Amino acid sequence: MKNQTDYPLERVRADFPALEQRIGDYPLTYLDSAATSLKPIPVVEAMRRHYLEDAANIHRGVHYLSQKATEAFEGARASVRQFLNAEHAEEIIFTSGTTAAINLVAQSYGSATLRAGDEIVISHMEHHANIVPWQMVRERTGCVLRVIPVTDDGRLDLPAYAALLGPRTRLVAVTLVSNALGTINPAAEMIRAAHACGARVLLDAAQAVPCRTVDVRALDCDFLAFSAHKLFGPTGIGVLYGKRALLESMPPFMGGGDMILSVSFEETIYNGLPNKFEAGTPHIAGAIGLARAIAYVQELGLDRIAAHENDLRDYATGLLEAIPGVTIVGRAPDKAAILSFTLEGVHPHDIGSILDARGVAIRAGHHCAQPLMQRYGLAATARASFSLYNTRADADRLAEAVLQAKELFA
């Protein structure tokens, strides 16, 4: 794939002041966006304006600042609804992130509906946030956890998945894009198969939303979760999408202010959607920052972002493959711009440290996917992840630093 000639890379990079830093004698080469993305000036400025001008609480106040903050907060919900193509704004629940969103479904929907012998299907490539909550539900309800295998090249074993589905399957919870391998899973196909046997489906879209269109109605998923901080937005804010009928049937996850209509010592009457699941003062500035981050990627164009990142993925893959001793982990034909790799004779943590000394920021470890590492007989991998602000020069610096690490340990 050729480099895009119309991609405004210099303008994009100017929006991210973090990239102007130097690490010792080296320019910062940030290749850890799969963990968290850098934040552009427009997002930070939107949050700054709220804190400096409109930092009032929402929903409860009748004064001007409260009304203005409420308008911005609910406007952010409308932005997320449009971004995901959800049918109703009340299907958008603000949480503290993907982890909180999955736990909300696990504790509210899972604990309320699952019984002993019911089955939850997850995959071998899940982030811990999409494993542990279901184990906790299993401990409380006696339900069964079943796991979709992963092939040697990093794809879900779809025939095995089909065989796992059955009359006791109640929920399928899978990632749309693997954070550790970059694999893009065939979600629409998997959802159709799950629905055919009466199961609900939750998608972890944390790695998907920064660089590709995610349409919940086209996918027909029942739940979907993502975090703002991987989408060039702030930390501490995320989203749970759920079909309205399902959310209405679910009990509240937490109790407190704003999720009630009335409270007495005899009984409490809960509020409707989305307030029922948003107890307490929310991360108002975070929602505003998320809305601006959504606008940022939409202005740039998700298709253009994906094409740019795919070019960098292919270019960097070729550079790493040319280094003797490098093994790329995860070779699915459809994958995001995430490159997990090992270097013979060098521990991934040592790779990360050596690269850091040369200004190259990558992730080294199990990536909160220990079962997947065990599947490949690995304790950890080094992971480089490319984003909308990266360049081919970044890939060159990555490869040069990996080669230096190899020579250092030779």
Question: Of 258, 276, 299, which residue constitutes the final position of a domain?
Answer: 299
Shared-domain flag, residues 212 and 355: no
Shared-domain flag, residues 361 and 267: no
Shared-domain flag, residues 372 and 279: no
d(CA 231, CA 219): 20
Residue 401: domain span = 9-30+301-409
- CATH number, position 332: 3.90.1150.10
Shared-domain flag, residues 95 and 127: yes
For residue 3, the model assigns a pLDDT of 53
Averaged pLDDT in 10-residue chunks for the chain of 410 residues: 74 98 96 98 98 94 94 98 98 98 97 96 98 97 98 98 98 98 98 98 98 97 98 98 98 92 93 96 98 98 97 98 98 98 97 98 98 98 98 98 94
Specify the pTM: 0.97
For residue 410, the model assigns a pLDDT of 78
Question: Are 84 and 241 spatial neighbours (Cβ–Cβ below 8 Å)?
Answer: yes
Can you list the alpha helix ranges (DSSP code H) found in 114-243?
132-141, 158-164, 187-196, 216-219
Domain annotation covers residue 35: no
Domain annotation covers residue 209: yes
Domain annotation covers residue 360: yes
Helical pair 392-409 and 348-357, crossing angle rounded to 10 deg: 120
Shared-domain flag, residues 270 and 334: no
Shared-domain flag, residues 194 and 78: yes
Within 10 angstroms of residue 48's Cβ, the number of other Cβ atoms is 13
Shared-domain flag, residues 200 and 265: yes
Question: Of 248, 283, 299, which residue constitutes the final position of a domain?
Answer: 299
- Amino acid (1-letter code) at residue 164: L
Report the largest interatomic distance among the alpha carbons of the chain, rounded to a whole angstrom. Answer: 73
- b vs e for 273-285, b when ≥16 Cβ sit within 10 Å of the residue's Cβ? bbbbbbbeebbbb
- Amino acid (1-letter code) at residue 55: A
Question: Are 160 and 149 spatial neighbours (Cβ–Cβ below 8 Å)?
Answer: yes
Question: Are 154 and 160 spatial neighbours (Cβ–Cβ below 8 Å)?
Answer: no
Shared-domain flag, residues 294 and 346: no
Shared-domain flag, residues 115 and 203: yes
Shared-domain flag, residues 331 and 264: no
Tokens of 240: 């749970």
For residue 77, the model assigns a pLDDT of 98
Residues carrying an active site annotation: 368
Closest CA to 239 of 107, 127, 76, 385: 76
- b vs e for 115-152, b when ≥16 Cβ sit within 10 Å of the residue's Cβ? eeebbbbbbbbbbebbbbbbeebbeebebbebbbebee
- CATH number, position 287: 3.40.640.10
Domain annotation covers residue 242: yes
Domain annotation covers residue 4: no
Shared-domain flag, residues 139 and 267: yes
Question: Are 154 and 331 spatial neighbours (Cβ–Cβ below 8 Å)?
Answer: yes
d(CA 40, CA 353): 26
For residue 1, the model assigns a pLDDT of 41
Count the domains in the chain: 2
Question: Of 269, 299, 329, which residue constitutes the final position of a domain?
Answer: 299
Domain annotation covers residue 3: no
- b vs e for 10-33, b when ≥16 Cβ sit within 10 Å of the residue's Cβ? eebbebbeebeeeeeebbbbbbbb
Shared-domain flag, residues 191 and 267: yes
Q: 35: burial class by Cβ within 10 Å (0-12, 13-18, 19+)?
A: middle
Q: Which bin fits 147, alpha (ψ -120 to 50), beta or left (φ > 0)?
A: beta
Domain annotation covers residue 51: yes
Within 10 angstroms of residue 92's Cβ, the number of other Cβ atoms is 25
Domain annotation covers residue 141: yes
